[in-house]
Amino acid sequence: MDLLQQRVNQAHASGDYQPVIDLIPYAGVLGVQCERFGEEMIFRLPRNVDNIGNPTIPAIHGGVIASFMELTAAFQLTLQLEHPALAKIIDFSVDYMRAGLDRDTFAMCTVERQGRRVANCSIIAWQERKSQPIASARGHFLLDSFSSLT
């Protein structure tokens, strides 16, 4: 159980969040990174030819952008919970606003409300300017079922 707790504590102490991200294989496949700026965590999806989903623009695969945002929310929650756990996703909804071009993408998650059982998250993703997001998303996570941790 406390592999996660350990990794989260270490990550907060050292500022290196990669060991936490490495817990989720798909985050590694996508190449997700994380940096902390004071209280804020910004997640980065570095430019990667393997993430292309529209070869004509070329643009990043819409599913990749959504997954990256979902992972951003999952990590943000894990890292800010008092007793870190990988929250279980209930639903996720994303609006695409601009094509995600073949360059670095960033995402941030705001936990709008963290109840006893459910957390409401909103996530934005951007490339050049945060004021011009490429996508925004909302998701709900279940906090009271941590049984699938080994």
Residues that bind other proteins (CB under 8 A): 3, 23-30, 49-56, 61-64, 66-68, 70-71, 74, 86, 88-96, 99, 148-150
| Cβ contact 42:35 at 8 Å | yes
Least gap, CB of 125 to other proteins (angstroms): 12
Residues shown for the chain: 150
Q: Amino acid identity of 26?
A: Y
Please tell me the distance from the alpha carbon of residue 13 to that of residue 49, in angstroms, as a whole number. 33
Least gap, CB of 79 to other proteins (angstroms): 15
Q: Which is nearer to other proteins, 42 or 89 (CB)?
A: 89
Q: Which is nearer to other proteins, 39 or 150 (CB)?
A: 150
| Cβ contact 68:125 at 8 Å | yes
Least gap, CB of 39 to other proteins (angstroms): 24
Q: Which is nearer to other proteins, 37 or 49 (CB)?
A: 49
Q: Helices marked H in 42-146 — which ranges?
A: 62-80
